[in-house]
Structure 1
Amino acid sequence: MKELSDQQLLRYSRHILLPEIDVAGQQALLSSRVLLVGVGGLGSPVAMYLAAAGVGELHLADGDTVELSNLQRQIAHTTADVGRHKVASAAQRVAELNPDVSVHEYAQRLEGEALDAAVSSVDIVVDACDNLATRFAVNQACYRAGVPLVSGAAIRAEGQLSVYDFRQADSPCYRCLYHEGGDDLRCADSGVLSPLVGMVGSMQAIETIKCLLALPGTLCGRLMIIDALTMDIRQLRLGRDPGCPVCSAGR
């Protein structure tokens, strides 16, 4: 791996002090590639923290433009960005924060072969989108490619987080937990507590770093549920569904 420059040693010094990361771990982060699907409420803190942490390549995918109602929670965007593509706005924030990070922009909803190609080109995918159809498609693409998936969600005052690590033979997938025909709740209809998306997004960034560095204790096989009003945080064990339409038959 490429040696860290003096500037990088200083920039990432608080990571390097951690025995779980050290110089080798920081070098690994700088060589990593992450696809972030959605750069809204959840994706904003994920993008900012992964950029700050020194993830070498961020692939940002989102077909939406910034709206005024987004600014209550989507901290990668500013009032001046209203009407601008979210990926362009987020890419600018990333560049301002850390010039070490290379950004690839997909100003569109990734589907079909384009989604498969985007997933296959990275080390891990972070699902920060807001609709079930995209979540199902991303899950299936990650399973086919054997690429880990960090999934988060937030609505009203409730958040969820899990990791589907398809490098592990016994990992469940998103479809083991959710099935077609389920409720597709959106912030535009139900509302969301602003700092909650920052909380869940920050946790997604942590799980992403843990997966990239092969650190123990990821949320693979567990679902974290957060109630922001009571600050109750609990975890449920997740197992593979033998009838899952995605992962039950194997690749």
Structure 2
Amino acid sequence: MTLSADRLDRFARHIVLPEVGGAGQVALAQAHVVLIGCGGIGSPALQYLAGAGIGRLTLVDDDVVDASNLQRQTIFTPADIGRSKAEAAADWVRRFDPVLDARAVAGRVGGHNAAQVIESATVVIDGCDNFATRLLVSDTCVRQGIPLTTAAIGRFQGQVANFAGHLPGQSCYRCFVGDAFDAEDCDTCAADGVLGAMVGMVGTFAAMAAMRVILEGHAALGDPQWGKLYLLDGLTPSLRTMRIVRDEACRGCSAAA
């Protein structure tokens, strides 16, 4: 694949970086990213994925835009209230860069469609708001041999990590959280609040993590840092890391291995 003159001009600031270069930009243009959730995390992540020239984007969300979303879900405007988030997000991509292929999936990922939704993805970014979907997506990624970038936020705390449970010796998201479930007393943004800028930090960090996966083997930036969980504290502020090792009893990746 070669980049046209107008694409070379658009991504000149990427290409001039030795850590990305022309080969890296071509890899970004050929990539397919599946984004699970187009809300608080997905919205800023999508802006920088599209800005990076990710060639194909599958945008998944079963919710509609609400006025309370506008404080942090930066791709939406008051005109989008009541619309499908996935469809509004795909329209945003088309306005921002018509060259990119944006597909909306206006529905929830479940056992009946997970494999089809993430099929052919270079990497999946999961920013959804429930453990059931996160674990389903993780297990499906392991079975299909697709890397997973996971991102989450609670008040002023954020988490981002890349997992590759399909690779020998590498952990998956289930190794991290176990067989988690969605308790009735789980914290929610509606009850506890959330600062828009903090969500933006986590979302853009997730976009950067996904680009590391895409650029593996193509550019110096391509170190996915599998199983390395980044913990962001927006109050201090601070950043620390922890290593998530493979759980040999994990029913998500050990059985697949």
Structure 1 and Structure 2 fold alike (TM over 0.5): yes
For the 8 Å contact 2:132–2:182, the answer to whether it is kept is: no
Residue identity matched to 1:151:
T
What do residues 9-59 of structure 1 show as CA deviations (whole Å, max 9, x unaligned)?
Answer: 100000100112211211111111010000000000111111110000000
Report 1:59-78 matches (<5 A). 59-78=58-77
Equivalent residue for 1:239?
A: 245
Q: Which moved more, 1:215-224 or 1:113-122?
A: 215-224
Report 1:1-251 matches (<5 A). 1=1, 3-166=2-165, 168-179=167-178, 180-181=180-181, 184-214=186-216, 215-251=221-257
Residue identity matched to 2:237:
M
For the 8 Å contact 2:166–2:253, the answer to whether it is kept is: no
- Judging changes above 3 Å, is the alpha-carbon distance between structure 1 residues 173 and 166 closer, same or farther for their aligned structure 2 residues? closer
Which 4+ runs in 1 deviate beyond 4 A?
none
For the 8 Å contact 1:58–1:103, the answer to whether it is kept is: yes
For the 8 Å contact 1:226–1:234, the answer to whether it is kept is: yes
Partners of 1:50 and 1:101 lie apart in 2 by 10
Residue identity matched to 2:59:
L
- Judging changes above 3 Å, is the alpha-carbon distance between structure 1 residues 216 and 26 closer, same or farther for their aligned structure 2 residues? closer
Look up the SS of the partner of 1:241 in the other structure. Answer: coil
Residue identity matched to 1:228:
G
Alignment RMSD (CA, Å): 1.4
Partners of 2:225 and 2:191 lie apart in 1 by 29
Q: Which moved more, 1:223-232 or 1:114-123?
A: 114-123
Partners of 2:199 and 2:9 lie apart in 1 by 30
For the 8 Å contact 1:148–1:163, the answer to whether it is kept is: yes
Look up the SS of the partner of 1:112 in the other structure. Answer: coil
Partners of 1:182 and 1:69 lie apart in 2 by 23
Partners of 2:256 and 2:116 lie apart in 1 by 20
Q: What fraction of aligned residue pairs are identical, expressed as a percent?
A: 41
Residue identity matched to 1:237:
R
For the 8 Å contact 2:70–2:76, the answer to whether it is kept is: yes
The alignment's TM-score, normalised by the length of structure 1, stands at 0.95
Look up the SS of the partner of 2:79 in the other structure. Answer: helix
Residue identity matched to 2:57:
L
Partners of 2:109 and 2:231 lie apart in 1 by 28
- Judging changes above 3 Å, is the alpha-carbon distance between structure 1 residues 157 and 107 closer, same or farther for their aligned structure 2 residues? same
Look up the SS of the partner of 2:93 in the other structure. Answer: helix
Q: Which moved more, 1:110-119 or 1:43-52?
A: 110-119
For the 8 Å contact 2:87–2:105, the answer to whether it is kept is: no
Look up the SS of the partner of 1:175 in the other structure. Answer: helix
Residue identity matched to 1:53:
A
- TM-superposed deviation, 1:86: 0.4
Residue identity matched to 1:116:
A
Residue identity matched to 2:243:
R
Gaps in structure 2 of 5+ consecutive residues: none
For the 8 Å contact 1:58–1:102, the answer to whether it is kept is: yes
Partners of 1:70 and 1:151 lie apart in 2 by 21
Partners of 1:142 and 1:62 lie apart in 2 by 18
Residue identity matched to 1:98:
D
Corresponding pairs, count: 250
Gaps in structure 1 of 5+ consecutive residues: none
For the 8 Å contact 1:155–1:193, the answer to whether it is kept is: no
What do residues 171-203 of structure 1 show as CA deviations (whole Å, max 9, x unaligned)?
Answer: 211111113246543212322121111101101
Partners of 2:193 and 2:200 lie apart in 1 by 15
